[in-house]
Structure 1
Amino acid sequence: MDLQKIKEIFEAIVLGSQSYMPHGHCYLWQTPLVGLHVVSDSLIAIAYFSIPAMLMYFAYQRRKFLPISIFLMFGAFIILCGLGHLLEVWTLWYGAYWLAGIEKALTALISCYTAVSLVNLLPQFLSLRSPDELERINQQLQQEVSSRELIAQELAQINQNLEARIADRTVELQTKNTQLMREIQERQSIEQSLARRLACEQIFSKTLQRVWTTADFEPLFQTLVQDVREFLQVDRVLIFQLNGDFSGAISTESVSDPSLSLLGQSFTDPCFQEKHAPLYQAGRICMIEDIEASPLQECHREFLRSLRVRSNLVIPILWKSESSDLDWQENLDDQAITPAHFYLWGLLIAQSCQGARSWDNLEVEALQQLSLQLGIALRQSKLMNRLQEELQEKQQTALALQASEQEARQQAASLATTLNQLQATQAQLVQSEKLASLGKMVGGIAHEINNPLSFIYGNLTHAREYSHQVFQGLDLYQQHYPNPVDPITQWLSEVEFEFLKTDFPKLLTSMKNGADRIREIVLLLRNFSRLDESELKSVDIHDGINSTLSILTERFLESTCGQVIQSHCAYDRDIPTVECYPGLLNQALFNLFSNALDAIEERCRLQEMFVPMVKVETRLICQQHANGLTLQRFAQIQITDNGSGIDPALADKIFDPFFTTKPIGQGTGMGLANAYQIIVKRHHGELWYQVNEQGQTQFVVKIPIEQYFSSPAATERSVSPAMTIDSLSNFAPRI
């Protein structure tokens, strides 16, 4: 029933009710009239249906500029109008006036809504530009485009000029960089040479100390060959002890591989005994870089091959021969000594088995000095033994000859006097040899640096005067000729003459400051070559701290992290003058400050956002003296930094000589050891390391105000020369 009812309603709306008369009755069904209305309404409907399509296409193409919604409403309105004309044709035969009425109602609704929307959009349509205005705006835009193109061309030209200047500047920087790299390489070469020389002097100093403090030479020889092998970086170092007929055996050796050992083996070579031994007795040094390329006899080459030797260095160990014993005490200063006066005790041999190597002069000089000291020590030991034997024989003779007791006593006294004189001479020779070697090395370095420094320092004053005269002449020229020709004007702008005129005197001042720094270093080296001139003085330690900080001003202002390192000083003005060795104490403070700056720069490389700081505090402390009867005053210096700190696992090793955490080539590990030696051993003070509540590193120095010595010998203790050389090297200017 529902479907039937819906069907009836639909037919009533679409087909019309039978009670309604079709519209064709109004035209009396006249065919021409009906046809006219049908054709007219159909054509109007087709036109109405095509117009919305064109409107929608136009609105879609101009959707960025026009409101598309109004065009949609216009299209709907026109389509409904076309639909109304189709219904006019439909109602000619069917009375579907309800359907026609509904269509007209929809048309009225949409047309009213469209009219209201047009009222709201009318101001926007009125604001649209006219064609003339659009043409004028287009011309303005074209002019703007033309001006921008001109600006772009000018920018391109400027860019080309800038690229040319950048290219020139790049070439200049590359040239300067090449020069800087060459200077760095030269400096690294000098530093390596000094480091090797320092290692050589350390071996030499250690050997001297052991030579004159031991009577058993076997442990000394074993330590010596081990140190020499590590210094030369070779595979085998041995001592070949000769007999009277120049045959011999390996008495001591140090090898990198146990399979290379020759210890205890004996060798007898008639060729060596007849031809080569006299040459070594005359002081010959044999250097063979490669046995395969050297002009050796084939038998000698085969002998070295059998020992797996590829490169060889032989230094003779000599002493004065027995034939000149009578002249030894009478002619100690005799310089006319021939090879026959020397006794060839043995050979110090360094060998490379893995491959060929060259032997430089420093290595040869080091081994030659060691062999010379060994020869002197062996000779003195033999003389001591012989004198002791003679003394024993004299004493036995005195006991056997009671009748000649007085004469025997006189002879014994004479021998004792001779022995004392010999011991004094021995100590004097050792000290003079040591000071002469160290003084010669340091004095030579100071002399070599001072010669070119004199040229630089002497010419800086003339350069300053000449530059002043040149700039003065140019100023006079500009004053009398204020309008120079175009080439001169262009040249002045290219070279930045005003900047050059202000910067060149600063450049000369910087060069003078550098020369002054080098002169200070030379003075320190010269002072080092006169070790016996140090004195105990009463000074204000605050002056020493300030002078040390002044030396390090450049590192505070221009650190490698690019920040200015702040320094804070809090002095206790109640501290009186301190009895100390000012130069050594300043040297120790310099090492402590340098260590703090190194730690800060290391933290800068790992962490950029922090404020680097070094703080110095002094304090007067009174403590009970060791005797328990009096109070002793101390000056305490506390140096605090907020650098990278010290690993607690390494805290017990920081004052050990040669201990360092820096990469190879950036430190010798002697700075803190040197400071400890100066403060604790030399000044009888204290030096320790601690961490404060903020986690910052602190080094605390405690120096007695008055120095108390238990014996005169205590005042003669000094710092190791090797440590002093290391600390002086820290004064090198930083580029």
Structure 2
Amino acid sequence: MIAIAYFSIPIMLVYFAYKLRNMLPIHIFLMFGSFIILCGIGHLLEIWTLWHPDYWISGIEQAATALVSCYTAGSLVTLLPQFLSLKSPEELAKINAQLQEEVERRRAIGEELRALNQNLEQVVKERTQELWEKNAALKLEIQERQAIQAEIVQRSAADGLLAKTLQQVGKLSINRWVVLNEVTQEIRSFLTVDRVMLYRFEEDWSGSIITESVNDPDLSLLDRVFHDPCFQEQKAEFYHAGNFKAIENIETDEIKPCHQDFLRQLSVKSILILPIILWQPQKNLERSLSNVEQKFSDLIEADKEEQPALWGLLIAHECQAPRSWSQFEIEALQRLSLQLGIAIQQSDLVQCLIRYEEESRSKAESLAQALNHLKETQAQLVHSEKMASLGQMVAGIAHEINNPLSFIYGNLDHASEYTQDLIEVVSLHERLALNVSPDKNRELLERLDAIDTEFIYEDFPTLLTSMQVGAKRIRDIVLSLRNFSRLDEADRKVVSLHEGIESTLNLLKGQLLQSANQMTIRLDEQYDLTMPPLECYPSSLNQALFNIISNAIDALKARSQMELEFQPVLSIKTFYDREIDLDAGNLIPINEAAAGQDWAVVEISDNGLEIPPANQDHIFDPFFTTKPIGKGTGLGLSQAYQIIVKQHQGKLTLSVNEEGFKVFSIALPLRR
């Protein structure tokens, strides 16, 4: 019975705890029930051991009972504060009374809320109506603002299109067709249409598409030839007056059947046409520029009388469906077509100005070349006339000198022989007078002694030799003058180039022996003696050599005046070759006709004053000189260039060698 009582108590505790599981800690009741059950099992084992003395089972059960009881006691310790805080029945009754009061108060509030809710429904209805009206007004305002924003966006797009167009048309004079093509693309993008094109009129009101932009290559009309039978001069006057044409639907709008059929052939559903007008036609611009001597006021008055010209049309096509063209789009394209007209007119004006400037520049260059050629020809004529007169005078003087000189030079040999005979006779008489009868010949001996016959015997032959050398020098000079002038050789002759150089040096020998610092100019001659004769104009070539060598001597003297220890050197080198490289400092064949033949080359170099690099490209120009006024005409090297390059089809260049010498290189074809 005790064991049964032990087992019944846990069942009641577990049932009680389960019912109040939301308020009580059920695990404590489970542990406490387990402890009571273990106690009941312990009583049963005590009875069992009375008949079966198995004490180890009883020991295990008692140990488990001890563990469960200890764990239960520990858990109860932690729960004691909560159990001690439980309210007493009096306190619970008081709390229940307060709760009842709160319930009554909340019930009253609920009644008030129900009354308020009835009023609130009416207020909500009124407020809802008011909000609906405000929402409708707000929606209308939003629509208006959206329309304004759309208009702003459109205007911004139009302004952007106009700005881009203005930026592009500014380059119209540089590349008109590329710029116009870009403009049509911008317009098509702005309108979002299928086709935009520029149509230009001719004088007979025919025309052609000069550029277009399409969203489908199959819609392209470029390079197609077509004719609108309805477009006549009266229609052109309509656009000439600045009017535009906007057709929303070619099927429903009032248009001529012929024009309707024409648009159908082009797959057009809707079309917008605006004129491009020039306020000063191209022909008037050209007339204004051609009359440069006309008064500016007269040109202004004439332009006022001119009527604007219809240059062409700006056309937009919608090919998919009819389209309504907004007033804003029309106004934007009107401004754009106006700017296009102004830009095209400015481009035409720029082209006219460029063309007129090129013509004026060409005329000015032609006049300058003619003037320079005239001055050069005049200077050459004067110089040639002077040289011809000088040549005639030199030839005459040489002829006049040559006659008595030939007599003198020819008789000097005889005079030398006669003098030698006379000296021998006088010597013989002197010896006879001394040996035979000195007393009788005393007067003769005194006279012989007075004139110092011994000195005469020695000096007189030397004197005759000097006279012979001087006569030979005069004869060489006369020969050089005759060779230099060569009036009888106006045609090409085959002559020795070295003889011409020697004749020139012979004439300039006096200058070669003089310098400002008393230093004689050292002449270095390197002649190619195997060079064959040269076919040339001898007189002209001698003049060119004279001018170049004389210019080199002047440069040497100028440097001698500046540097006292300076040693002037003039070098003349000749050779001939077939292939000559000018870029390497030598010369090359002038043209294909001259290639493959032998060339005679003369290099005249000096270590005189340097020529500044800025002047080296102008030294062969007529009248160009760096000498002081009165010291040079600037024609020497120019004439040498004309003789060598133009007359002989040769080459004349200036370079500087590794030693710092100026080198004038002359190349002449041995045969023409």
- Identify whether the pair has TM-score above 0.5, normalized to the shorter chain: no
Q: TM-score, normalised by structure 2?
A: 0.37
Q: TM-score, normalised by structure 1?
A: 0.34
